[in-house]
Amino acid sequence: MNRLGCGSIAFFAVLVLALALTLTACGGDADVYSNVSDYLPPIEPPLDLAITDCLPQGQVGAVMGKPMTASDPYEDGTWVIYTSDDGTASVSVSMENQTEAIYDAMVADLVGGEAVTDLGARAFWYAERGEMIDYCDGYAIAVSVTEPSVENTYGLCHTIVKTLRNNLQAK
């Protein structure tokens, strides 16, 4: 039979006492820490609107020349993929709430962009990635198109970004 010695019992008693004192001390000042969130800046949602409300699948289909269906939003609502009913074409649209300064800093870090001046001072085409980005009314926008029968993805991206910009400015 295994027996505890006096030293073990004393150590165990001290451990229980320390635990009891710690719990009592923590419980007494609980409301001191209850409003920590009052001192932190509010966290805004990454996107405060629905992409499909600003760019309905019917408008994407009109640009692509075939019916398109929008996916459920991904990444906290910041990304939607429109896919053709036959599965051969897709349009990826990403949007985020953004400040001009953050957008400009992001663009400064990107390499290989060509300015798209007819959309505005902050629109760029990245041919290597097949992606067009833009800034409009507080939103960073990125659009890419996959369509195997069309070589002019620039033109499709441009038209979709322009449509999205027009819809945002009309709201």
**Can you tell me the distance from the alpha carbon of 35 to that of 18, in angstroms, rounded to the nearest whole number?**
28
- pLDDT of 99 reads 92
Q: What is the pTM of this model?
A: 0.73
CATH number at residue 98: 3.40.1000
* pLDDT beyond 50 at 7: no
Give residue-wise pLDDT tens across range 37-71.
454 444 467 999 999 999 999 999 999 999 999 99
Q: List, in order, residues 6 or more apart from 95 with CB less than 8 Å away.
A: 47, 49, 51, 54, 78, 139, 140, 141, 142
One domain, residues 33 and 99: no
Maximum average pLDDT range among 1-15, 35-49, 90-104: 90-104
Q: Which range marks the domain in which residue 102 is found?
A: 51-170
One domain, residues 15 and 70: no
- Residue 1 falls inside a structural domain: no
- Residue 45 falls inside a structural domain: no
Count of domains forming the chain = 2
One domain, residues 79 and 156: yes
One domain, residues 101 and 156: yes
Let me know the angle formed at the C-alpha of 17 by 14 and 20, rounded to the nearest 5 degrees. Answer: 150
- pLDDT of 1 reads 44
One domain, residues 58 and 35: no
Residue identified by tokens 């004393």 is 10
Helices 153-170, 57-64: inter-axial angle, 10-degree rounding: 150
**Can you tell me the distance from the alpha carbon of 163 to that of 171, in angstroms, rounded to the nearest whole number?**
13
One domain, residues 152 and 87: yes
* pLDDT beyond 50 at 11: no
